[in-house]
Amino acid sequence: MKLWLKTYLVIMSLLSVKILASQETFFGGTAHYMYQFLSGDVSQHYGSNNNLGFNLNVKLRNNITLGVEGQFLFGSQYKDLSVLGNMVTSGGFIIGEDNSIETPELEGRGGNFFVEVGKIFPLNNKNKNSGLHIKGGVGYLFYSAYNTADVRSVTQLSGEYFNGYNRLESGWSVNSFLGYTLYSKSKLVNGSIGLQMIYSVTKFQGVLDYGTGLAHDQSARSSFFIGPKIGMTVVLKRFMKQDPKSDGYFYN
């Protein structure tokens, strides 16, 4: 066999191994932070909020991604004190035990749990495990007005009455993400950054709204939670298939 042909075959073999080695399966956990802007029905009473969460995810060798995520939503100011009914005076405070003056503070709190599927599209051949990441999922969202008042002073909000004033709503959600995901070759820096949108259709839970004394409106409420999202990933396990003719995997 001619020398140039041998050299060509050796080079192509080395390149093939390098390309195969770049296609890996990762199993990891991602902690994220997101700042959300609200629109739709939920924005009538709540302001922007914070979102902290954790995702267990798998990136397959074909760059398909699968994940399960839980999110905690908090820090949103509730704009309407009428949720507390006539216990709030015209001056905007509550008269508590022993005629103490309590200033009511309401905060939007909730959670979102979902499963998702997506795909990473590499932007260069040097790292085929990273690139533009598009994913979507379905799940369950709940949200309510959390009262931070001291129930020892404001006994009107103690016990079972506490939940009667929170206007809890819940229902299904659709989640989408567009951004960039990095799995570095050093394995030390991994994460993602992008824009996430959550669309939810919820209904009020419970029969009676204690603030108004009327039955809850049971019509569907459509809302959007949109904002930038950044996450840091810890790779818990990496699987690398080196030989396409073998079923063996290398683990590290």
For residues 195 and 129, what is the distance between their CA atoms, to the nearest angstrom?
Answer: 20
Q: Span 11-16, mean pLDDT?
A: 42
HSE of 153, CA atoms in CB hemisphere, 13 A: 15
Nearest CA-CA partner of 120 in 67, 173, 197: 67
Closest CA to 77 of 116, 54, 43: 43
Residue range 67-76, pLDDT digits in tens:
999 999 999 9
- The domain locations on the chain are 24-251
Contact in structure between 38 and 197 (CB atoms under 8 Å): no
Quickly name the fold that domain 24-251 has: Porin (2.40.160)
Q: Which amino acid makes up residue 178? A: L
Determine the Cα–Cα distance for residues 66 and 64; give it in Å rounded to an integer: 7
Residue 246 has pLDDT above 70, yes or no: no
Q: CA-to-CA distance for 34 and 70, rounded, in angstroms?
A: 13
Least confident of 13-22, 77-86, 167-176, 220-229: 13-22
For residue 252, pLDDT beyond 60: no
